[in-house]
Structure 1
Amino acid sequence: MATVLYYSNTSPPSRTVRMVAGILGLELELRALTAVARDQDTPELTKKNPMRSVPLLEESDYCLADSHAIIVYLHEKYGKEAHAHLFPSDSRKRATINQRLHFDCGILFPRLRAVLAPTFWGKLTELSKSMKINLEDGYRTLEAYLSKTAYVADDVLTLADISIYSTVSSMDGIYPVDVKKYPKLKQWLLTMSQKDFCQMYNEPGREELVTKITTMMANNKHNQTSKL
């Protein structure tokens, strides 16, 4: 039974799933989607995933959306003893990891998406003041977490780091983390960027996304100026 992943290389949540699958040694059957073109809105995929989001995991007649749910599922189904630290059985450690995953899902990624969506729609030419404030607030929270532990939820790598890294590495490419304000966050980003699974599954898509966003902002500005 093949484990199929509908994904987009530029999508941070898609990259999260691919990094976790890579760590677990799980081979995925990849089916690329162009999220901006709304490939995920086809009747076939909408039936499988009414959220019409990317990524989507499919195993036989079972479908699961949302990267945070997917990586927990993959860890619980395919993880071995060597992977226990990613999502340990200890109830408090697991609760902290879950909280960080909710922080990514409910705070960090929506703030990144608030930049991406209007840029792709041709409206955004530069980050607004409120966007910068929201991104800074996310950075400040992560700096506080990293002041307590070496990684965002524990002193060892967990699923929370992988999920948050795919989001924040993209944010950093658009609105760089200030090393003077957030030295621990900057060091964490560097540490994560050097890991093999990040190099393989995150960095290429991150670079592609950041290049697209910066180019499109410039094009949007040019197009809006030319209409004046």
Structure 2
Amino acid sequence: MPLDLYYTSSCAHCRSVMLTAKALELELNLKRVDLCMKEQLQPDFLELNPQHCVPTLVDDGFVLWDSRAICTYLVSKYGKDDSLCPKELRTRAMLDRLLYFDIDKLVQRFGKYVYPVLFEGQEPDKDQLPCIDEALGCLDQFLTGQIGAVSPKITIADHILVATVSTIEAVGIDFTRHKNLCNWLRKCKSNIPGYTEINEPGAREAGEIFKEKLASKETEVDKA
């Protein structure tokens, strides 16, 4: 039975789940949610998910949201082994640490930069750029000598982080000085199954939306 995934392709969290499903060779019944049209606030979706967020997974009546929870659930239920989410205690601890780092540092700081443009019609908060760069620098340091984020093999930490970092790249934030991060990202682009058809178009879409809204705001300022 296919799994229903309510998603938005420009959303990094959704793409991380889709990459994990691809690695597990799972069939997803994709149900696009147009956040700009506030489809997430429709009664039928609110009944499904009162937090009205994407991604939302429905697996044979079981409803789950939060991309990190969904990724670990999919691997636990459908994985042929634990390579995507290692059970070895220290490796799993490092993986969990990166999942928390992604949401608490990267996503939070990046959101403070882009959300004013995307949802409030304002200028980006450029004060957040040094904060984003600091978080990227921490990730760069952690990736020193690493092949994957926590293992020589691709794990869900790579799926989750690459979706975030590629979106940061797509909106035009330069992090080329972080060499370990750039090397890791290049390897992810080449080695993660489904990256080209799943993550790349979505990240590009996110970047285009941000740049279009930013250009529109700048035009308004010029006319004023």
Smaller-chain TM-score bracket: over 0.9
Match of 1:206 among 203, 206, 217: 203
Q: Contact 2:171–2:208 (CA<8 Å) still a contact in 1?
A: no
Question: Following the alignment from structure 1 to structure 2, what is the Cα–Cα distance between the partners of residues 67 and 121?
Answer: 21
Instruction: State the partner residue of 1:73.
Output: 73
Q: Contact 1:122–1:220 (CA<8 Å) still a contact in 2?
A: no
Instruction: State the partner residue of 1:39.
Output: 39
Instruction: State the partner residue of 2:130.
Output: 133
Question: Following the alignment from structure 1 to structure 2, what is the Cα–Cα distance between the partners of residues 225 and 122?
Answer: 18
Q: Contact 2:112–2:125 (CA<8 Å) still a contact in 1?
A: no
Is 1:184 aligned to 2:180, yes or no? yes
Q: Which structure 2 residues correspond to residues 46-61 of structure 1 after superposition, within 5 A?
A: 46-61=46-61
Instruction: State the partner residue of 1:219.
Output: 216
What SS does the aligned partner of 1:37 have?
Answer: coil
Instruction: State the partner residue of 1:160.
Output: 157
Question: Following the alignment from structure 1 to structure 2, what is the Cα–Cα distance between the partners of residues 105 and 212?
Answer: 22
How many aligned positions are there? 223
Question: Following the alignment from structure 1 to structure 2, what is the Cα–Cα distance between the partners of residues 5 and 190?
Answer: 28
Unaligned runs of 5+ in 2: none
Question: Following the alignment from structure 2 to structure 1, what is the Cα–Cα distance between the partners of residues 174 and 12?
Answer: 17
Instruction: State the partner residue of 2:63.
Output: 63
Instruction: State the partner residue of 1:145.
Output: 142
Cα deviation code 1:178-206 (max 9, x no counterpart): 33x31110111111112342112100111
Is 1:193 aligned to 2:189, yes or no? yes
> Offset of 1:28 from its aligned partner?
0.6
- Is 66-75 or 97-106 further displaced after alignment? 97-106
Letter in 2 for 1:80: K
Q: Contact 1:35–1:54 (CA<8 Å) still a contact in 2?
A: no
Question: Following the alignment from structure 1 to structure 2, what is the Cα–Cα distance between the partners of residues 185 and 176?
Answer: 13
Question: Following the alignment from structure 1 to structure 2, what is the Cα–Cα distance between the partners of residues 174 and 78?
Answer: 34
Letter in 2 for 1:48: L
Unaligned runs of 5+ in 1: none
Identity among equivalent pairs (%): 26
